Structure 1
Amino acid sequence: MHLHIESIGAGPNLVMLHGWAMHSGIWDGVRERLAQHFRLHLVDLPGHGFSPACEPGTLERVVEMISDTLPGSCMVCGWSLGGQVAVELALREPVRVKKLALISTTPCFVKRKDWQWGMDRATLQLFMRNLKRDYATTLSRFLTLQVSGSADATAVLSQLRESFFRRDQPDEAGLQTGLQILLTSDLRGKLRNITQPTILLHGENDVITGPGAARWMSQQLQNSRLVMLPHCGHAPFLSYPDQFVASMVRIEV
């Protein structure tokens, strides 16, 4: 099975990993500007966009598949679920992955006894059940949740919807796999092993991956810089495209 990857531009390699339920077209608003500085590799995660779902549908398998396609030297940018994949890639490929950009990323998506910056497990499990019962409505609500807290919520939601419907709807099995990864993954104990320069971009009003998670991550990562964006929800590259591009270009921490 092969992942769909589109490569454009010239310069150092930059691998872009989108979030749950989306596809690589979500980067369309910034891709041309990024391509002036980088050789972009725009990946569709398994079960999303033009990439078929994978078996087994584990984070380890997803990371293995992307690892098989990585350039010899690259920077990896991951958004939300893609950020968790990026963290594991950096750990698996410390020589090839030179730098990291983690956008709206949390090391642990659900609340635990020792982790307050997550979603209630029961809420995520209900979301998984609703996805089976009413696929379209559940995804529509998720898109709306992503822009919650954004000063430009209407405009960002319009961009999200336009990007989402530009390709066929994601594979339901792939969506459930992604949610299962979010339900079970806990990367907190691994962050101190990451030595690559890392930038974290996070919206201060993000209701999906709360800003407290980003602040905690910035304290754990050895070589990181946190950029907290005001009046911003879960999609900072849509709300702050200029600052996003500038941050990618100036990744040196």
Structure 2
Amino acid sequence: MSVHIAIVGKGPDLALLHGWGMHGGVWDGVRDALAQRFRLHIVDLPGYGASPAFEPYTLEHLARAVSTALPGKVQVCGWSLGGQVALEMALLFPDQIERLILTSSTPCFAAREGWPCAVPREVLLEFAAALEFDYEGTLKRFLALQARGGDEVKSLLKRLRDILFTRGRPDVQTLRAGLNVLLESDLRNRVAKIKTPTLLLHGGRDMLTPVGAAHWLAEQMPEARLEVLPGAAHAPFLAHPVEFTEIVTGFLGPAND
């Protein structure tokens, strides 16, 4: 299958992976600044934007599809669900991923016994059920959860809603399958194997993927470093684009001349 990727900028290759319900346009607020330093590969995950849906919609299949569409050597920044795809890519293709940035991501989205820094399973199950009879309202409630707790909640929520349908509407099957990935994926027993230099960039007020998950990853991953934006919620690149860009470029280093 083909994965749509918009390429912009010059410099080292950097792929940007969006989260559930969104598309590559969610990065527009930091795109121009990053494109001054990097050759960006802005991915529409399967079923979103210009990328066709596929089956089976599993984390491994997503990681393999994105990996095939990207250069043989690439730096990857994944947000939320995109961060889990990036983690799976680093596990499956360690020689391809030069550096890894996990933005508001987690090895395990759904709460389990002994894993409290996560969203309750019932919340994700409620979203999945509600998609059937209130598609648009369900997506907008998910956006509200992303914005909750951070600085400038209303303006952030408006930006998320403005972006949501600018590249079409993902079908219910894709959304339901993506929620199932969030419900079932648990990478906790594998992440210690990742030797790729990794930046964990997290909002201190994230209500969807609590910052405790990032602290846990920082302890488990041998080459990981944690940066917390204290006032940010689940989308720090939207609420704090300047700080986000500075942290990312500082981690990845100067552009090649």
Q: Tell me the TM-score normalized by structure 2.
A: 0.96
Distance apart, 1:122 and its partner CA: 2.0
Q: Distance in 1 between matches of 2:62 and 2:224?
A: 25
Q: How does 1:68-79 map to 2 (within 5 A)?
A: 68-79=68-79
| Counterpart in the other structure of 1:161 | 161
Report if aligned partners of 1:99, 1:251 keep a CA contact under 8 Å in 2. no
Q: How does 1:97-108 map to 2 (within 5 A)?
A: 97-108=97-108
Q: Distance in 1 between matches of 2:211 and 2:119?
A: 13
Q: Distance in 2 between matches of 1:195 and 1:60?
A: 19
| Counterpart in the other structure of 2:20 | 20
The two structures, once aligned, show a CA RMSD in angstroms of 1.2
| Counterpart in the other structure of 1:145 | 145
| Counterpart in the other structure of 1:223 | 223
- Return 243-252 or 88-97, whichever deviates more: 243-252
Q: Distance in 2 between matches of 1:150 and 1:252?
A: 26
Q: How does 1:167-246 map to 2 (within 5 A)?
A: 167-246=167-246
Distance apart, 1:126 and its partner CA: 1.5
Q: Distance in 2 between matches of 1:6 and 1:192?
A: 32
SS in 2 for 1:110: coil
Q: Distance in 1 between matches of 2:110 and 2:80?
A: 13
| Counterpart in the other structure of 1:11 | 11
Report if aligned partners of 1:197, 1:252 keep a CA contact under 8 Å in 2. no
Q: Distance in 1 between matches of 2:102 and 2:57?
A: 22
Q: Distance in 2 between matches of 1:15 and 1:102?
A: 12
Q: Which amino acid aligns with 2:182?
A: L
Report if aligned partners of 2:203, 2:228 keep a CA contact under 8 Å in 1. yes
C-alpha distance after superposition, 1:45-81 (max 9, x if no partner):
1111111111111111111111111212110000000
Q: Distance in 1 between matches of 2:80 and 2:243?
A: 18
Show structure 1 runs of 5+ residues with no match.
none
Distance apart, 1:252 and its partner CA: 5.2
| Counterpart in the other structure of 1:131 | 131
| Counterpart in the other structure of 1:29 | 29
Q: Distance in 1 between matches of 2:58 and 2:252?
A: 32
Distance apart, 1:152 and its partner CA: 1.2
| Counterpart in the other structure of 1:53 | 53
Report if aligned partners of 2:2, 2:69 keep a CA contact under 8 Å in 1. no
SS in 2 for 1:107: coil
Q: Distance in 2 between matches of 1:127 and 1:163?
A: 20
Q: Which amino acid aligns with 1:74?
A: V
| Counterpart in the other structure of 1:91 | 91
C-alpha distance after superposition, 1:147-175 (max 9, x if no partner):
10111112211211111121211121111
Report if aligned partners of 1:19, 1:82 keep a CA contact under 8 Å in 2. yes
Report if aligned partners of 2:25, 2:163 keep a CA contact under 8 Å in 1. yes
Q: Which amino acid aligns with 1:232?
A: A
Show structure 2 runs of 5+ residues with no match.
none
Q: Distance in 2 between matches of 1:70 and 1:151?
A: 34
Q: Distance in 2 between matches of 1:233 and 1:248?
A: 17
Q: Distance in 2 between matches of 1:196 and 1:247?
A: 18
Distance apart, 1:123 and its partner CA: 2.1
Q: Distance in 1 between matches of 2:206 and 2:230?
A: 10
Report if aligned partners of 1:104, 1:209 keep a CA contact under 8 Å in 2. yes
Q: Distance in 1 between matches of 2:2 and 2:163?
A: 22
Q: Which amino acid aligns with 1:32?
A: D
C-alpha distance after superposition, 1:96-138 (max 9, x if no partner):
1010000000100111112111122222111110111211111
